[in-house]
Each structure stands twice: as C-alpha cells, then as structure tokens.
Structure 1
C-alpha cells in the first residue's frame, strides 16, 4: 500500500511539469513574435522534433508500417487539427494578444471538447456542462472587455483572442477524434507520423510566406519549442495518464493560465489585473463545474 502511495505521489509531478513546459511555450511564442514569422517557427518546431525522434523511431515505424498504413488517413487528420491548425493559429494569435490571455483561452480546451463531443460523438452535455461553460465564457468576456462588457463592440482589439479561441476549438476536435477512433497504435509512433504529416502540411505556407532563417536571436525559442513542448511534455503527459488516469490528469490543464500569467509577468512584464483575477476565477470554476459528471475528457496528449 505504501509503495502504491509513493508511486502516485511521484506521478502527480509529471502533469505539473508538463503543464509548466506548455505554459512557458506560450510565453516563448509571444516573445518570438518579432524574431520569426508564425509559419517559420511552426515549421522549425516540428522539424526539430522530427529530427530528434527519427533515430529512435524510424525502425519502429518500419516494423509497424502495416499498422501505420492502416491508420494513415486518421493520423493525417489528427496532425492537421492538433499540430497545424491549432499551433499555427496560436503562433499567429501571439502577434495580436498577450501571453496571459493566450493561457486563459487555452484553458477552454476541456469545455470546447464537451461540445465538440456533442457534435461528433452525439454525447449530450448535462446541466453542469452547460452552466459551467456559460460561466467560463462570461469570465472570458469579462477579461477581454477589461471589466466593461460594452467594449466588446470594438472587436478590433480582440482579434488575437478570437484567433486563439479558434485554435483551441480545433484542438478540441483533435481530442475528440482521438477518443472516437481509439487508434491501436503505439503513442510514440502516432506522434512521429503526425509530426511527419505536419511538415508536409507546412510546404504550401512556406512557399507563400517564405522561410525565415535561424539566427542567434530566434534559435533558443525554436529549439525550446521543438524539444520541450513537442517531445518532453507529451511524454510526461502520457506517463501521467498511465499512472493516475486520464480524468485526474486532465484537471492539471487548469494550471495553464496560472503558470502562463506568472511567467508572462516575470519575463514579459505583462500586467495581471483585477479583471484577470475575477474573470480567471470564473473561468476555472466554470471548467470544474463543466467536468462534473460530464463526458470523459480526452487527455492522451495535450498542446
């Protein structure tokens, strides 16, 4: 019994570290806006991850090539939603909003997942999910309007937040598709193949926007994004899911806006206002309520 308790206590550190890495990546995304274009940083992120994984995964993928071929279309769709649409829009949103707001909007993944599940899996949300989602959404509007909801009519200042909401909505599709298909393929192979598709998807964007060179200013951001949030954090998250279960692990995603706000305040000098506090509390309370007796949250891999 004591051994089980020790293992569980150690396992709870895994999602905390993973969320901290993802939160720092949001700040890195905001920091790099003047150093490299969204298409370039997104491409380099997955290229670096692909290069690092290839020596370890190439043989495994070849041995499982029949299984990979069987799920090729599904892996291509997962890559499009989770790695290209979500991450690409997030990098673009960083040009128009703060890292603090990006972290807050990112916390909507569990809520959006519930409603995407309703569309795709025909899972009807219960009263807790509906009320919790409404409270969270009102909290977000309160933050975006800086406490004055009448200012929402002037949407010009909120394009970054809207782009981030669309990005999170696409990631909710990613999670629901994971649940719907239940792919019988090793997680690392799935991750590797999805990264390969992501690189292919970037080709049209690079042909249109061009590819910025790697230099001394943007290299640290690129290598952090390519290794830690792309490889280390997903592995820690997968281990956490195995150790403490998907539902308990998913709760830790609520720490993203908290960690992001702290990092952005210390590093990017972003101000945490009373509106952030009030709206943030409403968002977290709503998310917790929405998950109560609601459909299971997908948490095999987070952003």
Structure 2
C-alpha cells in the first residue's frame, strides 16, 4: 500500500466539511428571501476571486502561458461554472432529497473516469469502498427526515435530477483531468484565474438578481453566514481541494464527498433539528470504512510494480 498522505486527506476532509456546513447555512440565509441562490453563488465566486487576487499581490508573481490560461478556463467551467450552475438549476427543478441522493454519485464518476482516462485499476476494494461510503451517505440522507414531496411535475423533476447528475460528473471530470496540471503553479495562481473566468461567465446570468437583492434586509447573522460561505466554504475550501488533488488519487479525493451529508447531519443534531441514533452511527462507520478501503486499494503504479515483480520471479 502506498504511503498515506495525511496532508491530502486532511485537506479534502476540511474542504468537504466546510461544504457540508455551507448547506444548512445557505438555507438559513435564503429562508429570509433577501437573496436568491444566484446571488449567493455570485457572491461566492466574486468574493473568492477578489480574495485570491488580493493574496497574489503578496506572493512572487508567476507567469502563466497562454496555453495554460486556456486550460484554466476549461478547468473553471468544470469545477465552478457547470458544477455550481447545474446544481443550482437542478435543485430548483427537483426535490432537495433527490438532489442530495444524486450527489453521492460523484465518487463513482471519479472512479469510472480515472479508469478510462488515467488507466487506474477498478479493484474489488475500490468498488466495495465506494458502495460502503454511498450506503452510509444514503442512510444519513434518507434518515434525516427531509421532505422530498416538492410540488414539481415529473418531467421537470427528471430534468432537475439530470442537471444535478451533470454537476457531479463535471466536478469528477475536473478532479481527474487536472490531477497533474495543478502541480504546475501555486494554489493562488490557479485559483485566481479559475475564479476570474468563472465570475465573468456567471455575472451576465446573475446581474439581475444582484440588482434586485434586498441588501438592507440582511441581519448580522446573515452577513456572518455569507462571510463564512465566501471565505471558508469557497476561498479556503478550493485551496484545500488543490492540495488534495496534488496528494491523492482522484477516486480517493472523490470519496470525501460523503463527508458533506455527515457534517450536515452533525449540524442538524447540534441545532436540535435531529437526533443521533444507531442508524447514524452505522452510517458514519460505513463512510469512514469506505474511505479506508478506497485509500488502501492498489493504484496503477502499485499494480504495475507488483506485476513487474511477478515477472522477475518467473
């Protein structure tokens, strides 16, 4: 088994923990009606862009070639624009319960894409680990008591589900395609360009909502929540994801997607909205067991080294 990269695991855990916390915080903010999902998304992207550019002024300048700038543009489409955009539209057309369940498909997409693109082996341990993690996440989601009977037509719900699925596919494709690319430049350089491209792409669609937002109606709690979403769940989280990409295989990095419903469950218990029981304990055990199984599965390099050793013995 390859050496465990604790930096990579800690980074992906931290990023997904903050994304899991962002879900209830976003619902709390948008419940007041002062801002729409479009506004929250645009604040995330625009605020993170400003923070990354500000941070870059205190670092040694890095020259990015025109070819790599084009690569970063497509990376921003996959990781930010299509991922967040498809998810927001999908949730608005589907039910929250269905959307939560579909998000558990991301590690599966990562495994399939890594097998086709990076030639990573699909081992029994890896499949079992993804199944265990998905089972744990589904136990948390289905046992949370959230309502899924949203008044939407069947055809509309199907389109919503497909958009949420597309969002997961885009993010998994980003993790796989840009596994090696993220090592070429610093975190700040990569993120400042990705969020700049994302902001330019999303602003035309969200400008109307930004103008109509009732900013004066935001309470101090709302402002604090938005600050967490911009700084913690976007600026810091996306930097942590790059660290995870550099140190972990795509399938292992994708497994931490299951941490999000776990964190949302913990928050619900702490806020008195839910209670901890045996089902949730089993779900937690399944999630972390799944992460361990995928992490301990053989990588392509390990498999090639093992086969070479066998040939030498023969």
TM-score normalised by the chain length of structure 2: 0.67
Equivalent-residue separation in structure 2 for 1:181 and 1:14 (angstroms): 18
Matched, 1:123 2:127: no
Q: Residue 276 and residue 208 in structure 1: after superposition, are their counterparts in 2 closer, same or farther (change >3 A)?
A: farther
Equivalent in the alignment of 2:45: 46
- Unaligned regions of 5+ residues in structure 2, if any? 301-314
Correspondent of 2:293 among 274, 289, 295: 289
Residue 285 of structure 1, CA deviation: 3.8
Equivalent-residue separation in structure 1 for 2:161 and 2:259 (angstroms): 19
Matched, 1:23 2:20: yes
Equivalent in the alignment of 1:169: 169
Equivalent-residue separation in structure 2 for 1:93 and 1:183 (angstroms): 32
Equivalent in the alignment of 1:77: 74
Equivalent in the alignment of 2:192: 192
Q: Residue 294 and residue 261 in structure 1: after superposition, are their counterparts in 2 closer, same or farther (change >3 A)?
A: farther
Q: Residue 268 and residue 88 in structure 1: after superposition, are their counterparts in 2 closer, same or farther (change >3 A)?
A: farther
Residue 71 of structure 1, CA deviation: 0.6
Matched, 1:64 2:62: yes
Residue 93 of structure 1, CA deviation: 5.6
Q: Check whether the contact 1:18–1:234 (CA below 8 A) recurs between aligned residues.
A: yes
Which SS does the other structure have where 1:41 is aligned? helix
Q: Residue 227 and residue 68 in structure 1: after superposition, are their counterparts in 2 closer, same or farther (change >3 A)?
A: farther
Matched, 1:88 2:89: no
Q: Check whether the contact 1:108–1:287 (CA below 8 A) recurs between aligned residues.
A: no
Q: Residue 240 and residue 136 in structure 1: after superposition, are their counterparts in 2 closer, same or farther (change >3 A)?
A: closer
Equivalent-residue separation in structure 2 for 1:207 and 1:9 (angstroms): 41
Equivalent-residue separation in structure 2 for 1:283 and 1:20 (angstroms): 13
Equivalent-residue separation in structure 2 for 1:172 and 1:230 (angstroms): 18
Residue 268 of structure 1, CA deviation: 7.6
1:230-264 deviation digits (Å, cap 9, x = unpaired): 2233445666888xx536x9476654332221113
Which SS does the other structure have where 2:122 is aligned? coil
Q: Check whether the contact 2:140–2:262 (CA below 8 A) recurs between aligned residues.
A: no
- Unaligned regions of 5+ residues in structure 1, if any? 1-7, 297-303
Q: Residue 292 and residue 107 in structure 1: after superposition, are their counterparts in 2 closer, same or farther (change >3 A)?
A: farther
Q: Check whether the contact 1:42–1:87 (CA below 8 A) recurs between aligned residues.
A: yes
1:104-156 deviation digits (Å, cap 9, x = unpaired): 7656544431112123334341222234334555566666666xxxx9xxx96
What is the count of residue pairs matched by the alignment? Answer: 279
Residue 190 of structure 1, CA deviation: 0.4
Q: Check whether the contact 2:191–2:238 (CA below 8 A) recurs between aligned residues.
A: no
Equivalent-residue separation in structure 2 for 1:80 and 1:11 (angstroms): 24
Q: Residue 179 and residue 53 in structure 1: after superposition, are their counterparts in 2 closer, same or farther (change >3 A)?
A: closer
Residue 229 of structure 1, CA deviation: 1.5
Residue 200 of structure 1, CA deviation: 1.1
Equivalent-residue separation in structure 2 for 1:89 and 1:271 (angstroms): 32
Which SS does the other structure have where 1:74 is aligned? helix
TM-score normalised by the chain length of structure 1: 0.69
Equivalent in the alignment of 2:270: 266
Equivalent-residue separation in structure 2 for 1:20 and 1:53 (angstroms): 21
- What is the root-mean-square deviation in Å for CA atoms of aligned residues? 4.5
